[in-house]
Structure 1
Amino acid sequence: GSFNGEDFIKQLGGKVKGLKSSEEVYFAYLLMKSAAKGQGKAARKVIEDALSTDSWPMLAALQAIQEGGDPSWVIPIYERLKAMIVMPAKDAQDQSPTLDSGFRKDLLEGNFLLAVGLFDALSETYPNMAPDEKRTHAVLDQMITMITLLDEYDYVRYFAAKCFAKIAGFKQPSDNRVWLKHYLLQREMKRLNKDGMPEDDGGTSRTRVKGPTFVGMPPIGKRIVICLDVSGSMEEEVSDEVKETRKKREGPITGDGKGKGGAEEKEKEKGHRERIDWAKIKTKLDLAKADFKLTLQDMSDDYYFNVVAYSTDSDLLDPKKTGFVRATEANKAHFIKLVEDVETQYMTNIHGALMDALRITSDGADLGEDEDPSTSSRALLTGANTIFFLTDGYGTWSDDSVNKKRDKRISNSTKPSVGDGAFIYREDIIMDFVRLNKFRKVIVNTVGIGNHDRWLMFDMAKQSGGQYIDLSGKKPLNEKNRKDD
């Protein structure tokens, strides 16, 4: 028979409680999204019960809360954070938090995505609360302790820092240590100076970043996938404009090489990394290879990586090395040699490369075709933290393509030139990427060389919290006035 709204909500709560596998997390999220909009006690209890599970229903509930932005969830979320990362007492003689051993390592390592979900949900709900400077100071002080305690978990710490920046009301810089110290100094003076916070300059500052970078962008976390476009157009000559834009991101050069400081600073820079030999950079592929080499050279052996090479087809650069590969000197040399010898093909399978990158896991066996990388527990817990994605073109092929069809992006085109698959165009790729990454929370940093789909690379980076580097030589994109270029 029929049932009223409350009966439905109770049944909904029962279904949510019964969800035990990660494969059901998306279904749980859809149910939770409906419950999060409910105003009654029964609907709220569904969410509260999910938040108490320490498992997949909690992850689904946090995503629903994050998208809803309801500030009434701030206190429950914050209490769960404090339960996951126990807050130590502050020293009475010091304005900065003191640290003790109250760190819930067991919870964090059991499912780090719960901590990420808590920080993301807090960042979207707290700003909707009524302003209260005293309360905000207290929350930020405790969050500094959380961020400090998370020192060994830089992937989770990134989301904590992003949440901190959102609550404090300023733009998050590339290196959160800068504004963290600045904030502590301001708190010692009993004030929060928002205007004094340094802002991210998009990565163009010539400040040295420790560890590996790709085109100047540091990874978040230790598991990294690099996707390299090896389509035929990568063999085209790289323009002087692109070279000049890239040189600005090459790294710090201080001193003039003459007199005091110059020679010493250049020697330090030489020791930091091998510079790009621009005399050898003739094609877009040459530039991609050079950046790839620098990235691997800067990886210490506590990083793990793999490489996807894509054109018409997409596959691991070395199909025999599945899973993440430890960044030993031997492994790095092996992959650098493979990239040096890579052969280009014709089409550009952007969606296929994304799927391959998301299928890589730490257990040595990548996901099969029948496993969904958006909800597989192996992918969620041992997949990539950061993907570096480089292309020089537009999507023209996908894994489900069989034949060619006319490209609708070219108004006067009559000749079949792109695949007939479902994931060729920007809007289709982005829609599926958002679905795939809803719970994965992979940071995707994108690089576009020459004439490429700039809005696609921009959107992939923005949707994931990553950065986009535009090496097209064109005027910067204007997000307030989006136009195809």
Structure 2
Amino acid sequence: MHMTSARVGARLLFVALLAFAAAAFAPAAGSAQDAFKDAKKDFESAKKENSATKMGRAVDALGAAGSSEARDYLIGLLEEDQKARKNKKPGWPGDVRKKLIAALGNYTDDDSVAKLGAAILKYDSLKEPAAALDQYDLFAPLAGMENSEAATKALIAALSDAKNPYIKVAALEAIRRNGNHRFVDAVCAILREDNKEWWSKWKIVPINVFACLEAIATTDTNDAAVKTVEAVSDLSLKWSNDKFDPDERVRYFGGRMLRAITGENADITSWQFWKWWAAQKRSVGKVVKGDKTPEKRSKTAPVPPIFNAPPVGTRFVFCIDVSLSMKMPLKIDLEEIEKRPPQKGPTTNDKKGDKDEDPEVKRQREEEEKRIAEEEKKRGIDALRKLPWKSITTKMELAREELARAIESLPDKFQFAIVTYSTEVDCKTPGFVTADAGSRAKWAKAARELEPEALTNIHGGLMASLRLNKAGFKRGLPEQPSVDEDCVLNGADTIIFLTDGWGSWSDDSNSQTVKDPRGGEGMVGDGTHILGPDIWPSIARHNLFRKVIINCVGIGYHDAECLRHLARDSGGAYVDWGFKE
């Protein structure tokens, strides 16, 4: 059979196109392979020189290569670093590890995500807790891959780990920041796990569960919220049957989460109310209250406000600025302070925009919120009225008197520590002190004797506060308070942080030789954590899993942006006692 010239021409054209495509693809594949080989060669050379800079450049090139060989090589380098640190060796120098994590983020195809997920799950962060920070960094982009089955599978595997609290919180934090309601079932499943250590020891697990649900359960106005409340009510009923009293911080984060997704102010232990609420939402899609509505259990008695902001938990660190500028005159009085209520951390409560909310329920909720706010404001101002305002003339005197008053008001068995910072950072107490009549009198007296000196090491003061644990105060240790077991189990619940200025020194400063980039003629230290944008991300990183509340108080001319970030990132409050100086 003979082909027509038209058909012959069409076939020749098709063959030519195939040849062109093959020719076009071959150089691309070859180019990726060549890029991998060149980058690998550069890394091996830099490794022999132990040059972090050159290794970092080679890792960047491996991330850009785009080949499966480059991906596998990067995973191997990360595993090599993990193995070294597990054996108490340094691992890759400089920021090479960070660059490895960033480079692997370029590989988002299913095969790469599956391999990366498997590699992350192999990290033994229970034996090497610092690896949990790497797990979080690698989980974070996976949590945002909504259409990737491999990514979801890896994260759910981490959430379901029955023994390792660190991989759980790494996955929970990644989901809190980048995930959505598709993870609600897996997160709620943790609340039903039969592991009493999550509640009695590793409280970072339920705290991070509640923080995660606060973010992802509000993305769905009914199903995700109902599933969450059902899981919480079942847990609360189990606590009641077991006669178990949950930790104050666990109750706080649980209550905050429930308020965010339901608009209701009720303690997490009010299981009858929460079961009723979930049944109402599931059956009719909204909550209609009536005579048969179960009574809400009142929350635990509030801790007396400190610097006009309520702390959370039972273990507090007072982190007080004692730089020279604290000697300057106080130009704010109680009347002005009363006009400035604390600025709370972020809220995800979206009930005001819930179209299904019953009008009467909405009215009752808003009245209740107003009453709670007024009561909290009154407690704060009533506490401040006790200060000897007529004799307070400087910022330091105000700080001393309120610190002393706060210590004197602490309930028995609460724990507290006093950290001071100027150029140097010090812990005035021998670590945490248990409150009783004797310790309150002793340390209130010591608080009234604090004297200002030198510069302002904001970052150092906050790091010392995060590092405090049962072992006491050790300068610069532990290196990773975010995952150190003693810090996680026995560290601060709330840090009350006070400053009257701007960072001018940090722990790694050697001399005051750098012109202040914020303006003026002043000189600051040559360290790395002096400016606000360098301080708050570092503190947030060290507080990633522990969720320590940081209440920030600014007196006089202070770095308000820095304090707002510190408070917002931790869920604390910012108290603005600023004035012109």
Q: What's the TM-score once normalised by structure 2's chain length?
A: 0.64
Residue 472 of structure 1: aligned partner: 578
- Cα deviation digits, residues 236-290 of structure 1 (max 9, x gap): 1111x3432335689xxxxxxxxxxxxxxxxx99x99981121121111111111
**Aligned pairs for 1:10-89 within 5 A:** 10=115, 12-19=117-124, 20=126, 21-38=128-145, 39-53=147-161, 54-55=163-164, 56-83=166-193
Residue 234 of structure 1: aligned partner: 326
Alpha-carbon RMSD across the aligned residues, in angstroms, is 3.5
Structure 2 letter corresponding to 1:386? T
Residue 418 of structure 1: aligned partner: 524
Cα separation, 1, equivalents of 2:129 and 2:509 = 29
SS in structure 2 of the partner of residue 344 of structure 1: coil
Cα separation, 2, equivalents of 1:416 and 1:294 = 35
Residue 421 of structure 2: aligned partner: 310
Cα separation, 1, equivalents of 2:119 and 2:156 = 13
Q: C-alpha displacement at 1:67, in angstroms?
A: 0.9
- Native 8 Å contact 2:404 2:448 kept in 1: no
**Aligned pairs for 1:356-435 within 5 A:** 356-364=464-472, 366=474, 368-369=476-477, 371-404=479-512, 405-410=514-519, 413=520, 415-435=521-541
- Native 8 Å contact 1:69 1:125 kept in 2: yes
CA gap 1:154/1:60 in 2 versus in 1, 3 angstroms: same
CA gap 1:116/1:187 in 2 versus in 1, 3 angstroms: closer
Q: C-alpha displacement at 1:159, in angstroms?
A: 1.1
Q: C-alpha displacement at 1:147, in angstroms?
A: 6.2
Match of 1:287 among 380, 393, 398: 398
Q: C-alpha displacement at 1:305, in angstroms?
A: 0.8
Q: C-alpha displacement at 1:41, in angstroms?
A: 3.0
Q: C-alpha displacement at 1:185, in angstroms?
A: 13
- Native 8 Å contact 1:26 1:60 kept in 2: yes
CA gap 1:304/1:249 in 2 versus in 1, 3 angstroms: farther
- Native 8 Å contact 2:123 2:131 kept in 1: no
Residue 9 of structure 1: aligned partner: 114
Residue 123 of structure 1: aligned partner: 214
Higher helix share: 2
CA gap 1:121/1:334 in 2 versus in 1, 3 angstroms: same
**Aligned pairs for 1:147-296 within 5 A:** 149=239, 151-168=245-262, 170=263, 192=287, 210-239=302-331, 241-246=332-337, 275-296=386-407
SS in structure 2 of the partner of residue 118 of structure 1: helix
Residue 372 of structure 2: aligned partner: none
- Native 8 Å contact 2:319 2:497 kept in 1: yes
Residue 548 of structure 2: aligned partner: 442
CA gap 1:339/1:34 in 2 versus in 1, 3 angstroms: same
CA gap 1:33/1:137 in 2 versus in 1, 3 angstroms: closer
Residue 111 of structure 1: aligned partner: 202
Mean Cα deviation higher: 144-153 or 340-349 = 144-153
CA gap 1:472/1:365 in 2 versus in 1, 3 angstroms: closer
CA gap 1:127/1:188 in 2 versus in 1, 3 angstroms: closer
- Native 8 Å contact 1:367 1:373 kept in 2: no
- Cα deviation digits, residues 9-61 of structure 1 (max 9, x gap): 23542442332332211011112223323433332221122112142111111
Mean Cα deviation higher: 292-301 or 438-447 = 292-301
Q: C-alpha displacement at 1:79, in angstroms?
A: 1.9
- Native 8 Å contact 1:215 1:249 kept in 2: no
Cα separation, 1, equivalents of 2:222 and 2:113 = 38
Q: C-alpha displacement at 1:356, in angstroms?
A: 0.7
Cα separation, 2, equivalents of 1:391 and 1:37 = 37
Residue 354 of structure 1: aligned partner: 462
Cα separation, 2, equivalents of 1:455 and 1:327 = 34
- Native 8 Å contact 2:187 2:213 kept in 1: yes
Q: C-alpha displacement at 1:187, in angstroms?
A: 5.2
SS in structure 2 of the partner of residue 111 of structure 1: coil
Structure 2 letter corresponding to 1:228? I
Residue 261 of structure 1: aligned partner: none
CA gap 1:218/1:192 in 2 versus in 1, 3 angstroms: same
- Native 8 Å contact 2:400 2:449 kept in 1: no
Cα separation, 1, equivalents of 2:193 and 2:475 = 33
CA gap 1:217/1:177 in 2 versus in 1, 3 angstroms: farther
- Native 8 Å contact 1:147 1:161 kept in 2: no
- Native 8 Å contact 2:327 2:396 kept in 1: yes
- Native 8 Å contact 1:9 1:35 kept in 2: no
Cα separation, 1, equivalents of 2:209 and 2:327 = 45
- Cα deviation digits, residues 352-403 of structure 1 (max 9, x gap): 1001101100244647546221221221222111000011111111111112
Q: C-alpha displacement at 1:152, in angstroms?
A: 3.7
Percent of pairs identical after alignment? 30
Q: C-alpha displacement at 1:69, in angstroms?
A: 2.7
CA gap 1:417/1:117 in 2 versus in 1, 3 angstroms: same
- Native 8 Å contact 2:144 2:179 kept in 1: no
Residue 327 of structure 2 is aligned to residue 327 of structure 1: no
Cα separation, 1, equivalents of 2:305 and 2:335 = 19
SS in structure 1 of the partner of residue 505 of structure 2: coil
- Native 8 Å contact 1:9 1:43 kept in 2: yes
SS in structure 2 of the partner of residue 312 of structure 1: coil
- Native 8 Å contact 2:405 2:444 kept in 1: no
CA gap 1:209/1:247 in 2 versus in 1, 3 angstroms: farther
